[in-house]
Amino acid sequence: MNESGSIDLASRHCTPCEGGTPPLSREEVGRMMGQLEGWESFDGRIEREFRFKNYYQTMAFVNAVAWIANRENHHPAMQVGYNICRVSYTTHAIGGLSENDFICAAKVEALLSD
């Protein structure tokens, strides 16, 4: 648990999400956004832009995100440039956000935490 009493998202794992499961409500999204830093929520997705000193650091980050995606079986959209990477999560099977999106976002965020 973290200081707010909620379970740390980065310590959780994704569960398979099937069609027919409703996306998170606006209230649930708002509550979960409070556990992330620097992410934005709109149009049924969450995303964050990460900036780096150089291409090597950017690609190391992209590879680490790919490793998380493979391990959790939940894959983001990524836009990659020389020193920038925008990571975006949504759950296509339900047409919106699921807890899996927030779990993976927290794991990505943890890559750069102290």
Range of the domain at 90: 47-114
Q: CATH no. for residue 62?
A: 3.30.1360.20
**In the chain, how many domains are there?**
1
Does residue 33 lie within any of the structural domains?
Answer: no
Q: Which CA distances in Å does 65 have to 10, 30, 43, 70, 93?
A: 13, 24, 22, 9, 21
Contact indicator for 53, 60 with CB cutoff of 8 Å: no
Within 10 angstroms of residue 24's Cβ, the number of other Cβ atoms is 21
Is 1 a residue whose pLDDT tops 50? no
Least confidently predicted of 4-18, 32-46, 82-96: 4-18
Residue partners of 58: CB distance under 8 A and separation at least 6:
52, 80, 81, 82, 83, 84, 85
**CB–CB of 105/32 below 8 Å?**
no
Per-residue pLDDT tens digits for 78-113? 999 999 999 999 999 999 999 999 999 999 999 998
Is pLDDT above 60 for 4? Answer: no
Higher pLDDT, 22 or 12: 22
Q: Return the structure tokens found at 15.
A: 């569960």
Extract the tokens encoding 16: 């398979």
Give the mean model confidence (pLDDT) for residues 48-68: 98
Average pLDDT over residues 22-48: 95
Is 2 part of any domain? no
